[in-house]
Structure 1
Amino acid sequence: MAASAVLVAGCSPETTRTFHNTAGSELDEGYFGNPTMNNHLVMTGQYNAIVSLSRKFAEEAPTTINFAFNDASLDASARASLDKQAQWIAQYPSVKFRVYGHTDKVGGNAYNKRLGLRRARAAVNYLVSRGISRSRLEAVASFGETQPLIVTETPERRNRRTVTEVSGFLGKRQQLQDGKYALFSYTETVTSATEPHELTIIDEGGSAEER
């Protein structure tokens, strides 16, 4: 009974919920189509390229800008950061970007979601004004108050932000290895196995006999 009590005590509601979830449900972040899109990127070889570019972008440009309370206007600091983003983005004309809008936890979720989207659109509009094609930019997602950097119910500037991320490519990315290469490799392997080979047998005395 003591052992059972310990096991039950170790199972939090979150652990129990996760255990009984449908297989693969943890891949669904609540946005329809994301798991399928992720699989597509992996299978077409774009995922690794996106991850690499995302890291490079985060290292070389400010990916986040912040906002005043209940406001979607861009201050001087935000514009300066977006200028640097635009300079970086301009170097990769075939790459697409997505801008996510966030708010702090003050106010209702529905209102904050709309506010986050307004902030994302403000950032996209500014990048367009700096010469970036709108077809390469998306402001289609807003996490509202649901993903704070600082967990607090009070106003927090660091939570009032947009984050720009690499999202994909304008066209189909050329693969380094395709089916034709695999067919060539297979054909070479079969041909090599069926070609005449010279057999050399070494006897116990150390002399070689060729057949």
Structure 2
Amino acid sequence: MTGMLPKLLATSALLALAACGAESSKSFDSELGSGVDGGTFGNATMNNTLIQTGQIEYTVALAERFNAEVPDTINFAFDSAQLDAEAMAVLRKQANFIRQFPEVRFRVYGHTDLVGSAGYNQRLGLRRAQAAVAYLTSQGISKSRLEAVVSYGKTRPIVQTDQPEERNRRTVTEVSGFVDSHPLVLNGKYAAIIWREYVASAVVPSEGAPADGG
């Protein structure tokens, strides 16, 4: 037993030295313990909360349904953020889907092809995303439900080519989460949110009800 004490003391000293070494790699006047948290300290708790309340599960489920039922991508002409007729038709389909789920938020990402400088394409991608958001809001979607648009510029091409490529010139709309202030969300009724429209679609319309289209 007496032989263990020196070993324990030596081990403690080594651990203390290692901790000092880690701290000494930072600037002399940095806050004590600043190396412990790299900005992700609360992520485990946050993710656990999201899973326990069903937010992650049902956000993924709704995103899969959105991708299955609605085109999520529109394309643009070279060096343009102008929406053509095909793009507007796709955005109307997106708006019809988004309108069914007032509790859900969406995000629009802008992209460009690889022609031109990174800075110019960053701005062009943002203009494209803003054009898509503006059209969605013109279809009655609240801008508060369309999260801040993001531009990836030319950093995420679908096709790796230095030539003009329409498939790279695009915006992509994605499900991003839930509106925190909505009462259904506050009650944690995520399953009801996702499957509500499936239940409604099973109801047989009454005679004389107006038909879609024409």
TM-score, normalised by the number of residues in structure 2: 0.62
Distance 1:73 1:38 in 2: 42
1:160 aligns with 2:169: yes
1:148 aligns with 2:157: yes
For residues 45-96 of structure 1, give each alpha carbon's deviation from its aligned partner in whole angstroms, at most 9, with x where no partner exists: 3111111111100000010000000000100000000000000000000000
Q: Which runs of 5+ in 2 are unaligned?
A: 1-38, 190-214
**Which structure would you say has the larger Rg?**
1
Question: Offset of 1:175 from its aligned partner?
Answer: 3.8
Mapping of 1:16-55 within 5 angstroms? 40=46, 43-45=49-51, 46-55=55-64
- Give aligned pairs, total: 144
1:113 aligns with 2:128: no
Question: Offset of 1:34 from its aligned partner?
Answer: 9.4
Distance 1:115 1:139 in 2: 16
Mapping of 1:4-15 within 5 angstroms? none
Mapping of 1:62-211 within 5 angstroms? 62-171=71-180, 173=185, 174-175=187-188
1:58 aligns with 2:64: no
TM-score, normalised by the number of residues in structure 1: 0.63
Cα RMSD (Å) = 2.2
For residues 91-149 of structure 1, give each alpha carbon's deviation from its aligned partner in whole angstroms, at most 9, with x where no partner exists: 00000000000000000001101100100000000000000001000243111000001
Question: Offset of 1:38 from its aligned partner?
Answer: 9.1
In the alignment, residue 154 of structure 2 is paired with which amino acid?
E
Change (3 A) 1:171 1:79: same
Q: Which runs of 5+ in 1 are unaligned?
A: 1-32, 177-211
